[in-house]
Structure 1
């Protein structure tokens, strides 16, 4: 199996790279700086022939380049996010995640029909529990709705997360019959993973997965360690039963210690 990771040098993406390599999975890592990535991940990637590092700006890639990189991949994970500084929060590209997801989806659909794919490519988008899943009927309090509306206006990254998930829901929906889930004729399926407030624990711990938030993302947030989020995403990729359970959904992940 080969997995393409966008945002592989980020705080969560780098942990996902480590987990996948430990699990014997081939990884194509897209990073802005190859040298910085190698230096930061030296003990995990030294002489590791399972890892291919691609130095590139995903938004600057041509469709042909991205389609070529996707050849042979069974899964794509986006851990892209905006840097938490003025430039990252307020300057271009304000729709980094959305535009990247759109490009990836388009490139997957452009893979030649005779490519050796027996199953749709799995696309995992790391998002946020502050993104309300309206299609699942999720409700929040008036006060939380007001705060989210203000965040949407004041902080472009929040709107970007919403738009990226909305794009997948709108353009790559799946249909269901009364007996079984029927796959639309498409080359991709998706899951949007929503962690709560992220922490930097070093080891995988017990965590729980829910279809929707069980806490207020604004007024009573839980915690999700980045390594747990990475672990869940790696399991989605590897475990087809788990994938079928959550595909076309937006599961929320919490560290078990913060559920109650």
Structure 2
């Protein structure tokens, strides 16, 4: 199985790529900083690296990179700096999601390609009528106005829910929603829920990046896990 990973040189992406390789999968990674990925993982016969910003690639180039991949995973996110949060592209995650799904469809795959999006538990799935307190709605509304990456993540998930949907012939998807991300060296116990079990704003939980990578790798290699969560937006928490 070959998996295309975008954002593979990031803090979560590097851990994901390692776990995919450890499971015997082949990985094609589109990264802006290939040296960071190579430094973290070393050279590997099943890893090919494309040095590019995904949104700088033409539609034709994206179609070529997606071709031959049974799955695509986006670990893209905005850099936590002033330029990363408020500079362009404001819709990095949404636009990459849209263009990658379009590239998958352009290849007319014989069977659906898996698409996994790393999202956020702060993004609610309105199809599930997830309850939100008045205080949290006000805080999220303010964050949406002041912190553009939050709105970007919301729009990316909404695109999968409303534009791709649950019965697309070319794309099957899962949007993984971790809570507050932390660093850890090893995979630990974690739990998966259809919806948040706590307030992402007022009572956030913790999710280690390595656990996010592990769950996404499970989605790639365990058909039962994929069948359980495809077309859904699972929330992942570390078990305390």
Whether the TM-score (by the shorter chain) exceeds 0.5 is yes
**What is the aligned partner in structure 2 of residue 164 from structure 1?**
156
- Match of residue 112 from structure 2: 120
CA distance in 1: counterparts of 2:123 and 2:34, whole angstroms: 32
- The residue that corresponds to 1:9 in the other structure is 9
Deviation at 1:96, TM superposition (A): 0.3
Q: Is the partner of 2:73 in helix, strand or coil?
A: strand
Per the TM alignment, residue 21 of structure 1 is displaced from its structure 2 partner at its CA by 0.8
Distance 1:156 1:212, change over 3 A: same
Partner of 2:93: 97
Segments of 5+ residues of structure 2 without an aligned counterpart are: none
Structure 1 segment 1-260 matched on structure 2, within 5 A: 1-39=1-39, 41=40, 44-46=41-43, 48-111=44-107, 113=108, 117=110, 119-174=111-166, 184-257=167-240
The structure with the larger Rg is 1
| CA deviation after TM superposition for structure 1 residue 38, in Å | 1.8
Q: Is the 8 A contact 1:208 1:255 kept in 2?
A: yes
The structural deviation recorded for 1:185 is 4.9
> How many aligned residue pairs are there?
240
What SS does structure 2 have at the residue aligned with 1:12? helix
Partner of 1:178: none
- CA distance in 2 between counterparts of 1:212 and 1:189 reads 19
Q: Is the 8 A contact 1:45 1:51 kept in 2?
A: no
Distance across 2 between alignment mates of 1:19 and 1:99: 26
**What's the CA shift string for 1:136-157, capped at 9, x where partnerless?**
1101100001000000000000
Structure 1: which 4+ aligned runs deviate by more than 3 Å? none
Q: Could you tell me how far apart the structure 2 residues matched to 1:149 and 1:185 are? A: 31
TM-score, normalised relative to structure 1: 0.90
Distance 2:201 2:35 in 1: 38
Alignment TM-score, normalising by the size of structure 2:
0.98
CA RMSD, aligned part only?
Answer: 1.0
Q: Distance in 2 between matches of 1:152 and 1:162?
A: 9
Partner Cα distance (2:234, 2:195) in 1: 6
How many Å separate the matches in 2 of 1:189 and 1:11? 25
Would the aligned equivalents of 1:96 and 1:160 in 2 still touch at CA under 8 Å? yes
